[in-house]
Structure 1
Amino acid sequence: MASATVQNLSFVLQGIHQVKFEDRPIPELKSPHDVLINVKYTGICGSDVHYWEHGSIGSFVVKDPMVLGHESAGVISKVGSAVTSLKVGDRVAMEPGIACRRCEPCKGGKYNLCDNMAFAATPPYDGTLAKYYVLPEDFCYKLPEQLSLQEGALMEPLSVAVHIVRQAQVTPGQSVVVFGAGPVGLLCCAVATAFGASKVIVVDIQQPRLDFAKDYAVTGTFMPGRVSATENADRLRQENELGAGADVAIDASGAEPSVHTGIHVLRNGGTYVQGGMGRSEMNFPIMAACSKELNFKGSFRYGSGDYKLAVQLVSAGKVDVKRLITGTVKFEEAEQAFKEVKAGKGIKTLIAGIDA
């Protein structure tokens, strides 16, 4: 469908493995603080694939047709009457969750925990895989000249990693072990390195991912064996000279064996952050967590300052997101791209938008 003949071509999930391209009306600005964005690039996230594959994530169930996508960057096409920080033609990274700004978490500075969050491509809210999308101006982050729109699309997963590493309170000289060498895990390694960690070890069960990681912001890699979590943790400590244990363990995989190994690899008083989402319930080494007096934290999406810092880290050359982009496809090839991501091809695939 040629761009000149469409209003707001969108990639819509109708049901499990059922998608279609649908031309919808151009969204209106609901507030004088809103902006209309012509979406240029959108990354495919694991959650998008999960909705396409299963039709739900936990309690979030796709009951009505829903536009997919939430890792996006684009160009401002229209601004509301009260917008002061952006103008038509500005290139922006798009933070895809709109908080209510009124509930206790929002007022307490934790808007990522908003009781009424409207998050893109989370039922019942449409995502960003469309020609146009509307956001409040303060959820758009102007890209410096040296950053491409493709890099802008990766500000979303990078912001997830920034939030995780900030939750871990990583400081210079610390040792950090990251479980999972997918996009978020790799970006956690890069952010931890930027924060001054002296040792950053990434753990994965896929050798190609470890091979990539060896040249990307890590000091070591580790492939766990088919042994107990304590045995893997012991070998992980020994091979990487972690002494009594790592200062910080981050799980970006959601896999139960990784959670167990992460708990066991930490030193007494270490910090564990759960960033990956796995099964709703799993066994947990509670005795080790208690006897080591670990600091255990969850991490959910991103909050105040995370997107801003993500843009700064990339623009300053401290984090390289370009290397994670393994392919870009045309908008019309979105479904095939989903299939390839599901098959584990590449690290981060981008879908190009429809030109204005």
Structure 2
Amino acid sequence: MRASVLRRAGEIVVESRPVPRPAADEVLIRVGAVGICGSDVHYFKEGRIGDFVVESPLVLGHEAGGTIVAVGSGVAESRLGERVSIEPQRPSPTSRQTLAGAYNLCPHMEFYATPPVDGAFAEYVTIQSHFAFRVPDTVSEDAAALMEPLSVGIAAARKAGITAGSRVLVTGAGPIGIIALQVAQAFGATEVIVSDVDPARRSQALKFGADRVLDAIADDAELRTLGVDALLECSGATPAVLSGLEALAPAGTAVLIGMGADEIAFPVPLIQNRELVVTGIFRYANTWPTAIDLVSTGRVDLDSLVTGSYGLDDVEEALRISTASTSLKTMIRPGSAS
């Protein structure tokens, strides 16, 4: 098979590799589409994200879907031909976190495109069968792949306690911000406000149904007085985190989603006096059935997020263009000619 391989920061080549063989509990998937994530761009540009360092050739890509073409000895052959969305994780089945249901926090996790585990910018991948979720025929190849970032939005909305009547602020109108906006509305929020410094991003948020948009710089004073129930911080920008905290009403919840500075000086009196809850989100757990339902019933639109698609030969160009303000989701289609 062909695979796009990051050899070192800034260098990507297409290699010929053996098609992987599924273990007893795995399925082999012909990859239909893979979304580019900000983490892929970080690895490409810098060769690392925090403690995760690219020390040997790595296949990027973890937002993936496709079709089951082979099964391991312990998997029913009836699954052959299923169109699936991939939850790209392999936790230890016996870790304390996995047994408690928070398998995303398993310290022994193997995750697609996180060194040294290869990802899905390839024609074929394997995954444990229970992490290959069947999708209806009405769900596109792109949407099947984008269940992964949708799962981030679902996990964040759950942690934020968003429910009917919630007022929500989403800071950052990139792809995760637009997904968070849609999920908040699907969970029952009656007002979702989106802030961003870029007018093109704010315009996109309005197209996806934001009730109101704010310029994160020019409207900063108004933003800090919103009194919302929940903050979904998707930008990673320190000013957005701090103004977002101030925008919370007493007993509000902030969920930090975007990757930003390693350290931020937090306004402790504000957090104490308003009894704010400030938490992070690390991937997801038990989200795929909800994600598939939200898409198949039309409550979340993933197809409209796609702003470009490329074959394996053009992964480097795709990674570079995916950061443009006019880009939401750039897709890699391994079976397509470049």
Common fold, TM-score beyond 0.5? yes
The match for 1:63 among 49, 55, 62 is 55
The match for 1:247 among 229, 239, 242 is 229
Task: Say whether the 8 Å CA contact 1:86–1:137 is kept in structure 2.
Answer: no
Measured after TM superposition, the shift of residue 223 of structure 1 is 0.7
1:298 equivalenced with 2:280 (yes/no): yes
Output one character per residue of 1:90-117: Cα deviation in whole Å (capped at 9) or x when no partner: 1101111111111100001000001100
Measured after TM superposition, the shift of residue 135 of structure 1 is 0.3
Output one character per residue of 1:43-92: Cα deviation in whole Å (capped at 9) or x when no partner: 11000000000000000000000001111111101012222396221110
Q: Quick one: which amino acid aligns to residue 18 of structure 2? A: P
Task: Say whether the 8 Å CA contact 1:256–1:283 is kept in structure 2.
Answer: no
Cα separation, 1, equivalents of 2:326 and 2:43: 18
1:255/1:237 CA distance change after superposition, 3 Å? closer
Q: Quick one: which amino acid aligns to residue 347 of structure 1? A: L
Q: Quick one: which amino acid aligns to residue 177 of structure 1? A: L
Q: Quick one: which amino acid aligns to residue 19 of structure 2? A: I
Cα separation, 2, equivalents of 1:84 and 1:310: 24
Query: Structure 1: 5+ residue runs without aligned partners?
Result: 1-7
Aligned to 2:118, the other structure's residue is in SS state coil
Cα separation, 1, equivalents of 2:249 and 2:277: 11
Q: Which residue is 2:10 aligned to?
A: 17
Q: Which residue is 1:81 aligned to?
A: 73
Aligned to 1:66, the other structure's residue is in SS state coil
Taking the TM superposition and a 5 Å limit, the aligned residue runs for 1:219-258 are: 219-225=211-217, 232=220, 234-236=221-223, 242=226, 245-258=227-240
Q: Quick one: which amino acid aligns to residue 31 of structure 2? A: V
1:29/1:111 CA distance change after superposition, 3 Å? same
Q: Which residue is 1:3 aligned to?
A: none
1:309 equivalenced with 2:290 (yes/no): yes
The match for 2:155 among 156, 163, 168 is 163
Q: Which residue is 1:43 aligned to?
A: 35
Q: Which residue is 2:322 aligned to?
A: 341
Task: List structure 1 segments (4+ residues) > 3 angstroms apart after TM superposition.
Answer: 342-345
Cα separation, 2, equivalents of 1:310 and 1:85: 25
1:126 equivalenced with 2:108 (yes/no): no
Given the two structures, how large is their TM-score scaled by the length of structure 2?
Answer: 0.96
Output one character per residue of 1:306-329: Cα deviation in whole Å (capped at 9) or x when no partner: 111011000011111111111112
Measured after TM superposition, the shift of residue 237 of structure 1 is 6.0
Give aligned pairs, total: 336
Measured after TM superposition, the shift of residue 225 of structure 1 is 2.1
Cα separation, 1, equivalents of 2:325 and 2:206: 19
Q: Which residue is 1:92 aligned to?
A: 84
Query: Structure 2: 5+ residue runs without aligned partners?
Result: none
Aligned to 1:332, the other structure's residue is in SS state helix
Task: Say whether the 8 Å CA contact 2:216–2:240 is kept in structure 1.
Answer: no
Identity within the alignment, %: 40
Q: Which residue is 1:104 aligned to?
A: 96
Task: Say whether the 8 Å CA contact 2:61–2:112 is kept in structure 1.
Answer: yes
Q: Which residue is 1:5 aligned to?
A: none
